[in-house]
Structure formats: C-alpha cells, structure tokens
Structure 1
C-alpha cells in the first residue's frame, strides 16, 4: 500500500528526520509568503512608485517628481535603474506586481542555493530545508515580498558576486555587483573584498556596468538631471522615520548629537578592528573571511550610515551561514539574540504596555545590528589575545582546539649520550 511508504523499515537517521519534518514547513511557508501575504499587501507599497516611474520613463514623461515632504514610499532609483526596471510597465500594474513578487521569490531561492553550495552543501542536505524555512519565515524576506521591493534581486546579485569572487571569476563578479549598483548602491561596501584580495579586474566591470547603463539611460530620460538635483540630496539626508540606523533612531527619540556621534564612532572603531583582524589572520580561510567580512561591512553600513531599513538584513545571510564552520564567530547565543532583533517577524507593539512595546519594536533592529557587530568584535579580539598569550600568533588566531596537530614524524631525535661503563658500578 501507498501508506506503508510513510513508515520506514529501518530507523531513520537524524538528517532524514530533519528533512522529512522541515521540507513541508519550508515549502508551505514559501507558498504562503508568495501567494497569500505578498499578494494581499500590507501597510507599505514599494512597488507602485517604481511602476509609475517605469511607465513615465517609457512614455517620455518626468520621473523624478516625488514630494519628499510626505513619508510615503518614493522613487529613488538612478536613471540606470530606471532603464533596468522599465519593462515592468509593459503590462498592467496588478499582473506586473505579481510577476515582480515571483521574480524576487525565485531570486531569493537561487541565492539560498548558491549559499548552500558555497558551504559545500547540496539540496539533499538537511541544511537546505532549514535555510529555506528560516529565510522565508524572517521579516526581511517576508516584507521584501509583501512590500514588493527589489531586495530579493539584490540578494541574488550579492551571492553571485561572492560565488564568482571566490572562484576568481573577477570580471563576472564585478558585473554582478555592477548590476546592483545600477539600481541601488547598498552593496558598495563589498568592494573592500576585491581590494584586499587584489582582484583588480572586479573594479572594471563593477564600475563599467552602471556607467554604461547610465550612458544609455541618460538621453532616454527627460529629467535625468533631476535625479542629481532633486533626489540625491534627499538620499544623503538622515530621516527620523522608517530608519533603524543609529542616526535615525537618535533623531526619532531626540538624543543629543554628541551621543549619536559617540555611539557611531565607538562601533566604527570596533568594525575597523574586526576587519583588520580578519584580514591579518583569517584571509587564507577564504569562505570564512569573505562571508564574515561581508556581514561586518554590510551591517556597519546599515547601522552607521544615514539610512538602514530592517529588510536589508537578508544581505547578512552569508555571515549567519558561517555557523556551519567550526571557527564561526556566530556560534554563540548573543549572536542569535542579535539575529532575532532584525530577522524575526514578531511585532512587539503592545496594547497593554504601549510605550515599552513601541520602544522594543522600534529599537530592536538597531539593537540587533549593534549587538552583532559587538559579538564579532569580541570573539575576534578574544581569539587574538588568547593566541598572543600562548605565543602562537604566527599560526593565526583560530581557537587552539581547531589548530591542526603539529607534525612530529620528521623531528630529529635528541642525541643520547653513550652509557657510562662505570655507571652503577660499586667502587670499593
């Protein structure tokens, strides 16, 4: 009978149990987020201003006409990004939005597959359903789909860049990064990686792709210069709404400027120290170095820059995937407490404890990003001082128990002095 296949003839392994349990949860969570929550919409609509801008671009009408006195979503992409997204206006808004949701969902799934492969895992690994379930249950993926933002495609660009960078396919890696720059420069801090790895060709296509697209788009746009005069000043300003960066929350709660600046400087120093330790002692462990540095760089840009929004946090997936590595900096509970702050879809708004609930909800992303940077800094610094105390900095700062045993098979034995023929003899 068919039902008999549900009962194994032998005891299942732990990996098989995990796959049997989590794959149904993962598949149904993906379907729910895409077909139900995203199609239903909720609170904010990032897609409509993008669609309207694409429609205006195709019809040779002004694009950069947003009134920044309102807090509604605005169209902020440069002319190169307008050129890339313009095909979405070729059909009606509703079907275009559904296709955009589907494209982002597919891009996220491909990005997760690339992340699996980067760490040597396959689709038949128990890690695969756990990763898909965790990603689509998170706030960052859920709201990217619900708000119909382009971040899913940016995540795919990030993973394509990291994968190609590790394979030394420099021109293609730069092209993947350049396509994201053409729309939004959120991944710009990742240029640190080819810089310190001396993969210079990355810069050719990372700059060349958005420049080429801008050259094509500029004469096709009737108000391209308005992006420079009207939109860029707004992008450079910090705002006190929908902004989880330190400066945004500082403005919202009325913190003094010196305190906001002090917090940013302290965390910036931690970031610089973390990056120096990673480069000085960990760069030969390529996957660990690239993924941990990626997390530090992007988390710092979200937290210390002028604008950080919670759903940017999917760009930190490579850092959390390092938990599979024995030397990971996130194999500790504070790192996952931090992750809860900016990945959880839970809302802490409370009808009973209104002020406390509002503070917890509005601060949890800022707290989570800050704690994550502190955790990575603390782990790396602790490893550094432990290695220095034990006089093994020349071998790196990996925990002592992870260092390979030293090969003593070729060691030269100590010279043994010849036995004294008089030894042990009793002299009378």
Structure 2
C-alpha cells in the first residue's frame, strides 16, 4: 500500500487525470469558462458535470499543483482503505484475521487500484460510496443508503445501475438521496459555472461517441479492430440477455444470502455495463472487488477456476505487448479486460443454471423451501 501511494502514485504517469480537474476547478473558482479543452486530442479531458465541479472545487483552492495532487492521491487512497474496511465488515471478516492483510494486498495489487492512484482520478471515492451503499442497504438503513449513492452520482454516473438493487426489493427510500443530492449539486454547479450550457452542448455528445483508444467495451474494441457493426450489436444484445437472465436467477438469493446477492448482482450488472456502453475502461473494474470477495461465502458463485481467470483478465497489471508476436500481443493487451468481463458473466450464469436445474443444488438458492428430493 505504501509502495503504491508513495512511490507509484507520486511518481505518476503520462496519463494524468488530475491535471484536467485541477485546471478546470481553478478556472471555475476564477469565474472563467470550465469546458474549454480540445476534445480532438487523446489527452485526458475534463468531462465532469457542473455538480462534480462544485464538489471537487476545494482541490482548486490549493495554490501549489504538486501539493494539490498529493492531497488528492492521499484522499483517494484513504477512500479505498475505507471501502475495504467496510467490505470486511460486510463479509464479517475480522480485522485480526489473516484474511485482512491478504485482502488489502490483493486489492492494492490490482490494476484498478494502482492506476486509480497513479493516474490520480476520483474512482477511489466512487469505490467508497459503493461499499457504503452496500453496507447501509444490508443494515436496512435505507434513507442513509441514498447519501453515498447520491454523492457518487453527483460526481460521475458510474454507479447508477446499482440502483437496480433497491428497485428489485421495492425499497424506495434510497432513491430520495440518490436523486436529490446530484440534482441540488447540479443546480448549484450550473448556476455558478459561467459556461454550464457547454456541458450539454459539447461534453454530453462527446461522451456518447465510441472512441477507439483506451476503450475496452465491445464497441470500442470492435472499432479498434474493425469488427463489423452488426456483429458488435449482436454481441451487445447477447450480453444484455445473459446479464438479465443471471440477475433474474440471482433473485432467489436475496432473502437467505443477501450479501452474496448484493455483491454478485452488482458485479454482473456492472460488468455488463462496461461491455455494452460506449466507454469501458479497465480501472472501472474496482467496483467488481465485492463480487470477487464473495469467494469467502459458502454459496459463492466464484469458487471456480473460470471466475479467477476472468478476474485475472480485468485485474491484472501484466503488459502483453510482444516484440516477437506484435499482433497477438496487442490483441491480448487490448482485449483481456473485455474477455474478463465477458467470462465472469458467462461463468456466473452457467453456475446459476447448473444449480437451478438440479433439485439438490437448488437448496443453495432457497434452503427454507423443501425440494422434491428432500420431501
């Protein structure tokens, strides 16, 4: 953890997501236009909504860029640590257990956490909001659950699909905070930003486009490798269908295995979103950490080799560029997160179907209901 924060993150990378945030928040605080970047280049762009600009503006108050970046790194590192602690609480793993340092080691070795810190982006806070949302839902603090979700949506809409979880359980309370917080923050940002209209005129159309660089979604990979659009569309539809079937079959776990249901359903939904959306970047996989942590649960759907091959695909730091086999190396380098997201959905769906169609294994789903075999 110290190595990732003090060495890798402070050293930085060519990719610097914080530079655009710092410059935009400085312009915002000075009353100037925020959305002034050239979107034709491949450098990181400031694509946050006015609501995020307001919430991130305190970092722009720091006069020295280097100190502001270090504070931002430390802030995200603390958020990631807090998220892991909440997940340990959710999975009932004691802090004195050998599993605790093992989990921290595994988490900080992932590409998701490492590059979140090295690239200096805000995904650490998003991860903390996800973990807090799960804990509060599980503890039936439904009104409070909307607060971390609303905060995350005010910054970026990445976790919006997870509102499916309270929706499936007909819990409306989390939606109050999840909707009210981003609306209020957006209204404040719109009023305080001199060029708020540019967010809809320039940024929103740009984000809907499929780009062929740093994009592991099916559409992005298809565009990069020249795959016919009808085939990409068919694959996207297939992923949606598989994810929908998996979510339906997982409903049987929501009463007797709630933590498993929350974590696994969220993982399936988010992996599907990464695949079918216009942009899927590998470090988004941080939100799949709760899914892989379900391995500690007896009824887990990731206690198999295929699930961990998938995890390697979307968590690995390995670089696959090859001087001897340049095309094949580039193919693996660009597609291993795509492969991982797809394989984890397929794996979970296969295990669910395997359990569903076997009377004895159906006890894994609803042990309180007698099966014909038990009768």
Normalising by structure 2, we get a TM-score of: 0.96
Alignment of 1:207-356 (within 5 A): 207-279=179-251, 281-284=252-255, 285-356=257-328
Q: Could you list the runs of 4 or more consecutive aligned residues of structure 1 that deviate by over 4 angstroms after TM superposition? A: 403-406
Partners of 2:308 and 2:116 in 1: how far apart? 21
Alignment of 1:49-68 (within 5 A): 49-68=20-39
Partners of 1:170 and 1:233 in 2: how far apart? 35
1:397, distance to aligned residue in structure 2 (A): 3.8
Counterpart position of 1:155: 127
Could you say what secondary structure the match of 2:158 adopts?
A: coil
Partners of 1:375 and 1:248 in 2: how far apart? 23
Partners of 1:43 and 1:352 in 2: how far apart? 26
Pair 1:153–1:266, CA change in 2 (3 A): same
Counterpart position of 1:42: 13
Counterpart position of 1:373: 345
Deviations 1:235-266 (A, max 9, x none): 11111111000000000000001110111111
Alignment of 1:394-409 (within 5 A): 397=365, 403=367
Counterpart position of 1:425: none
Number of equivalences:
369
**61, 67, 72: which one aligns with 1:90:** 61
Deviations 1:334-369 (A, max 9, x none): 000000011011111112221111111111010011
Could you say what secondary structure the match of 2:358 adopts?
A: helix
**Residue 355 of structure 2 contacts residue 364 of structure 2 at CA under 8 Å; is this kept in 1?**
no
| Structure 2: runs of 5 or more not aligned | none
1:404, distance to aligned residue in structure 2 (A): 7.9
Normalising by structure 1, we get a TM-score of: 0.84
Partners of 1:256 and 1:45 in 2: how far apart? 33
Structure number, greater radius of gyration: 1
| Structure 1: runs of 5 or more not aligned | 1-29, 412-428
Could you say what secondary structure the match of 1:186 adopts?
A: helix
1:168, distance to aligned residue in structure 2 (A): 1.3
Pair 1:404–1:194, CA change in 2 (3 A): closer
**Residue 299 of structure 2 contacts residue 364 of structure 2 at CA under 8 Å; is this kept in 1?**
no
Pair 1:266–1:98, CA change in 2 (3 A): same
**145, 154, 159: which one aligns with 1:173:** 145
**79, 85, 92: which one aligns with 1:107:** 79
1:43, distance to aligned residue in structure 2 (A): 2.6
Partners of 1:405 and 1:111 in 2: how far apart? 35
Deviations 1:211-233 (A, max 9, x none): 11112222111001110111001
Counterpart position of 1:188: 160
Could you say what secondary structure the match of 2:89 adopts?
A: helix
Partners of 2:212 and 2:369 in 1: how far apart? 54
Partners of 1:141 and 1:290 in 2: how far apart? 22
Partners of 1:208 and 1:124 in 2: how far apart? 39
Could you say what secondary structure the match of 1:238 adopts?
A: coil
RMSD: 1.5
